[in-house]
């Protein structure tokens, strides 16, 4: 079993990109922050990043198939700006039946008004924002706990 962590556009620039907003850690550092959470849940970490909406749609479908087969806990999704714009990614999550937790490094609600709305949130289990890389670990833990509760 694994857990999917899918990162959207511009997150490959972490470390160099607006460090005042996103911190100085790189995408690799973020992956390393997720590893102990996945290990604690006893699952493999499938950590990816893409700048392409269609590729993210494909990955959501793939994760949804894995969820149906019971080989993933679900997905932690930081869709970056696609959170605020992409009906296609929202439809992919609901269409694939993928258990997903929306995550943002920054507190999107304390920034520009256009970041306040999420197309994804209504089809997500929950949302974590503003807690930096720790938020990813909390979301992985939440997916693991959700599985424990469902098998009790
Ligand atoms: C982000 C917040 C988005 O509004 C922004 O477009 C990003 C990163 C975050 O992790 O805080 O690319 O998802």
| Cα gap 92→130, rounded to integer Å | 25
Q: Which residues of 115-151 are buried (b: 16+ CB within 10 A; e: fewer)?
A: beebbbeebbeebbbebbbebbbbbbebbbebbeeee
Q: What are the pLDDT digits (tens) for 15-25? A: 999 999 999 99
- Cβ(80) – ligand 1 distance below 6 Å: yes
pTM greater than 0.95:
yes
Domain ranges of the chain: 2-150
- Cβ(72) – ligand 1 distance below 6 Å: no
State the distance from the centre of ligand 1 to the C-alpha of 67, rounded, in angstroms.
25
Ligand 1 atom 9: residue of nearest CA: 104
CATH 3.40.50.9100 fits 2-150, yes or no: yes
Tokens describing residue 73: 């806990």
ipTM summary value: 0.99
**Catalytic residue status for 104:** yes
């Amino acid at each position: 079993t694994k857990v999917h962590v899918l990162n959207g556009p511009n997150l490959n620039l972490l470390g160099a990109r607006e460090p005042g907003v996103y911190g100085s850690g790189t995408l690799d550092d973020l992956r390393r922050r997720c590893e102990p959470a996945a290990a604690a849940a006893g699952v493999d970490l499938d950590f990816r990043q893409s700048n392409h909406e269609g590729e993210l749609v494909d990955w959501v479908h793939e994760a949804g198939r894995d969820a149906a087969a019971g080989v993933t806990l679900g997905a932690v999704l930081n869709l970056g700006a696609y959170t605020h714009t992409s009906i296609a990614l929202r439809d992919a999550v609901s269409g694939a039946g993928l258990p997903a937790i929306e995550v943002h490094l920054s507190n999107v609600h304390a920034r520009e008004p256009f970041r306040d709305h999420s197309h994804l949130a209504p089809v997500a289990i929950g949302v974590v924002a503003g807690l930096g890389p720790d938020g990813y670990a909390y979301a992985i833990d939440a997916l693991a706990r959700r599985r424990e509760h469902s098998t009790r």
